[in-house]
């Protein structure tokens, strides 16, 4: 049972510039499985430990970036309730009919946050024919490959007005905010937000340009898997941003790098267990380097400046 109304971010659609190289990365290096193609040529993918039909969609485009993130909610009643609350909050919603935009997915509602990001909500989705075992289950049903990514985990979004976006996710999605970073004059600079026990389903950083993606995070099982990913990043000549390293914020163990179309990807393990009744952790903006990169304690310019 979910702690709140939203179960998790279950689907992300990404634009990629070099479709073939990016698809090779997502399948053979990150380790996702191809589920199929849509009639307009998008490719649907999932991680080996995910039950639902697919979680990642790649779309060939002239510029890399984020099309949208879709959140799975607990039941049909909550889907309608969240839709109504979204309208009352002030964001216009549009219905997407089942099995149109995303094969295997039921009805979705889409809307745009003040930060410029498009979000969707849905409840129904077909189970994958290639999901984890459920009868006397083995840890995995076929050997995980590449990074051995377990699941789509979280996103960091940059945009204007994140205090309002944070309020929306609390009031409408029923999420909570385990960790924040504030400027010296008390304004919100960043927030880590979740609807379950993960330290974050998504995070925001205040930024003037709307609808900006900083990174997509995929969960790995262990620190050894993070080191294995570091080897594969080097072997495949992918451009490293930083890591392997430790975050103090979320307490995750992490690497950031760029996939062939220039999307920043994070491979992540660990992290604390978030509970909605725990006190909120608060960072001062001048400590953010230490919060993000605990070992060096220093911010790296690329982390703040390079976004898609």
Catalytic residue selected from 154, 166, 206, 207:
154
291 upstream amide cis, omega within 30 of 0 = no
Q: What residue ranges bind Fe ion (CB under 5 A)?
A: 217, 266
For residue 296, give every residue at least 6 positions away whose Cβ sits within 8 Å of its Cβ, in sequence order, or none.
Answer: 245, 289
Phi and psi angles of residue 204, each rounded to the nearest 5 degrees, phi first: -125, 145
> Cα–Cα distances in Å, from 175 out to 33, 150, 168, 194, 239?
30, 23, 9, 5, 34
Task: Rank residues 146 and 270 by Cβ distance to Fe ion and give the closer one.
Answer: 270
Catalytic residue selected from 53, 54, 117, 215:
215
* Closest-approach residue to Fe ion (CB): 217
Q: How far is the CB of 256 from Fe ion (least distance, A)?
A: 8
Task: Rank residues 43 and 226 by Cβ distance to Fe ion and give the closer one.
Answer: 226
Active site residue 120: no
Q: How far is the CB of 220 from Fe ion (least distance, A)?
A: 12
Q: How far is the CB of 147 from Fe ion (least distance, A)?
A: 15
Nearest to 122 by CA among 85, 53, 75: 75
Active site residue 237: no
Active site residue 53: no
Nearest to 225 by CA among 151, 289, 154, 156: 151
Task: Rank residues 74 and 300 by Cβ distance to Fe ion and give the closer one.
Answer: 300
State whether the Cα torsion 206-12-78-219 is positive or negative: negative
Phi and psi angles of residue 81, each rounded to the nearest 5 degrees, phi first: -65, -45
Catalytic residue selected from 48, 109, 207, 256:
256
Active site residue 141: no
Q: How far is the CB of 109 from Fe ion (least distance, A)?
A: 26
Task: Rank residues 201 and 266 by Cβ distance to Fe ion and give the closer one.
Answer: 266
Catalytic residue selected from 200, 206, 214, 259:
200
Q: Which residues are catalytic?
A: 154, 200, 215, 247, 256, 266
């Amino acid at each position: 049972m979910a702690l709140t109304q939203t179960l998790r971010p279950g689907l992300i659609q990404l634009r990629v510039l070099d479709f073939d190289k990016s698809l090779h990365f997502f399948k053979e290096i990150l380790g996702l499985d191809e589920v199929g193609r849509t009639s307009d040529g998008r490719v649907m993918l999932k991680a080996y430990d995910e039950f639902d039909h697919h979680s990642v969609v790649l779309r060939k485009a002239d510029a890399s970036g984020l099309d949208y993130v879709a959140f799975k909610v607990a039941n049909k009643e909550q889907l309608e309730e969240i839709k109504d609350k979204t309208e009352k909050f002030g964001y216009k919603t549009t219905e997407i009919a089942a099995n149109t935009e995303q094969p295997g997915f039921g009805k979705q509602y889409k809307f745009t946050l003040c930060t410029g990001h498009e979000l969707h909500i849905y409840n129904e989705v077909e189970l994958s024919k290639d999901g984890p075992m459920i009868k006397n289950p083995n840890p995995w049903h076929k050997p995980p490959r590449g990074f051995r990514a377990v699941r789509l985990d979280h996103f960091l979004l940059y945009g204007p007005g994140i205090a309002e976006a944070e309020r929306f996710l609390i009031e409408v999605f029923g999420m909570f905010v385990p960790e924040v970073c504030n400027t010296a004059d008390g304004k919100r600079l960043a927030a880590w937000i979740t609807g379950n026990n993960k330290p974050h389903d998504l995070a925001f950083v205040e930024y003037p340009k709307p609808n900006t993606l900083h990174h997509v995070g995929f969960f790995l099982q262990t620190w050894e898997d993070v080191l294995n990913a570091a080897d594969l990043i080097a072997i495949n000549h992918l451009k490293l941003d930083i890591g392997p390293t430790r975050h103090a914020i979320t307490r995750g163990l992490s690497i950031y790098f760029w996939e062939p179309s220039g999307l920043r990807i994070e491979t992540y393990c660990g992290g604390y267990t978030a509970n909605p009744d725990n006190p909120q952790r608060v960072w001062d903006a001048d400590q953010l380097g230490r919060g993000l990169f605990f070992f060096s304690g220093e911010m790296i310019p690329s982390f703040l400046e390079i976004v898609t």
